[in-house]
Structure 1
Amino acid sequence: MQQRTRLIQLIHVGKRELQLDDDTYRALLKRETGSDSCKAMGVEELNKVLSAMERQGFKRKKSNNPKQPKKRLSPKTQGKPDVTSKIRALWITMSKEGIIRDGSETALDAYVRRMTKSHDRKGVDHVGWCDDEQALLIIEALKLWVKRTRN
């Protein structure tokens, strides 16, 4: 069922990208499958319609690269702001000012991991897991980074 829904979504994206009006779109469906509605089609028929659209120039966009991790955005603060919220706010501000290229939570976690790593340990994997001493170290390092770029 999920595959069928995805195919219908792709067909509607193809309709939009090929700029097909409703009459032309319905004629394409009728020509390829004998039906003028995706709702009445099975997976095989939907694939035929999608193939016809691809022959007319529609290109599917690739889904996210499985090797590249998804970038998480920073969550909104719930209740009273804490030190972690201050780190996130500083990180996002630096991103908006162009000081850093990637303002995502994933990039912040990588920075925190590098900054908290010591000789014998791996470091803290997530900004929310920092203790007070580590969080203070991160805030001061970010403030120095901002200061260096403004001079």
Structure 2
Amino acid sequence: MATNRDLAKIHIAKKDLGMDDATYRAMLHSVAGVSSSRDLTVMTSAKVLAHLQRCGWKPKSGHGKRPVVTAARKKQLNKIEALLADAGRPWDYLTKGSGGRPSMLRRLAGVDQIEWSTSDGLKNVIAALSIDAERRGA
């Protein structure tokens, strides 16, 4: 099942491109093989979004508030950075899922970007990376 965020983007793109319902459903059928957005999967919704962007839709960015960086949060981020560096892993290690599984950050902190994680989420990531370091003997 596609995420609500992806479905919202698809419907925004439909509106921005001025698609009528028949054209929209024809596009869904030709790109993803479905007649309704509720039948989209994560993979097919990504295909639809890519198609809409090729058609000229540009997603708007810059909405929402920026995350607050406090001294305590900065310490947690520095700790995560150090644990990743010791393991020889990039930041993407936290945000990229593999084999259809959600990313480490999604599983531990419930978010897709580290900037939006809570203090508790960052604690979970630090704990997991610390356990991994112990296993590796670092």
Q: TM-score range by the shorter chain?
A: 0.3 to 0.5
- Structure with a larger share of its residues in helix: 2
User: Given the two structures, how large is their TM-score scaled by the length of structure 2?
Assistant: 0.45
User: Given the two structures, how large is their TM-score scaled by the length of structure 1?
Assistant: 0.41
Give the number of the structure whose alpha-carbon radius of gyration is greater: 1
